[in-house]
Amino acid sequence: MNIPENLKYTVDHEWVMIEGERAKVGITDYAQDALGDVVFVDIPELGKRVTVGETVTEVESTKSVSDIYAPLEGEIIEINQELDDSPELLNGDPYGEGWIFILKLSETTSTESLLSAKDYRELVEG
């Protein structure tokens, strides 16, 4: 299972790449594997303000439908339009081309609730 060291993670299996006041968000390799073949991604609303834990979008696979949550507080400023035509990018490249959205972080957001790669590995390996 691939768990890049340079990312942060949530207990809900989202990954977060923080770059200044922006945070790129996707689902982890563990999550895409558990979902199976992804067949649809409900593209989130551009400009929507979200709070930690709020449902942002859904991912549908051959097995189930799963909510994707906001890992941090902010505004959705970019969405991955490629997922409209190629939802399988979540399976093939979850940490690269399979990102879902980018948040502009609010000034009050805290990253303390996010997990390190080591902590996330311990979570999924039990």
Write down the pLDDT at residue 109: 78
Asked whether residue 61 is domain-assigned, the answer is yes
Question: What does the pLDDT average to over 4-12?
Answer: 96
User: Tens digits of per-residue pLDDT, 54-70?
Assistant: 999 999 999 899 999 99
Sign of CA dihedral 30, 34, 39, 44: negative
Determine, yes or no, domain membership for 59: yes
Q: Is the residue at 76 inside a domain?
A: yes
pLDDT tens, residue by residue, 38-54 = 999 998 989 999 999 99
4 occurs within a structural domain: no
pLDDT at 76 over 90: yes
- Number of structural domains in the chain: 1
Q: Bin 22: left if φ > 0, else alpha if -120 < ψ < 50, else beta.
A: beta
The answer as to whether 6 is a domain residue is no
Rg (CA), the chain: 13
> How far from 50 is each of 59, 70, 77, 95, CA to CA, in Å?
18, 7, 11, 22
In a domain, residue 80? The reply is yes
Confidence at residue 1, expressed as pLDDT on a 0 to 100 scale = 83
DSSP 115: B
Is 79 part of any domain? yes
Q: How confident is the model at residue 107 (pLDDT cuts 50, 70, 90)?
A: confident
- Residue 3 placed within a domain: no
Question: Where in the sequence is the domain holding 24, given as residue range(s)?
Answer: 11-120
CATH of the domain at 96: 2.40.50.100
Name residue 51's amino acid: T
The answer to whether residue 31 scores a pLDDT higher than 90 is: yes
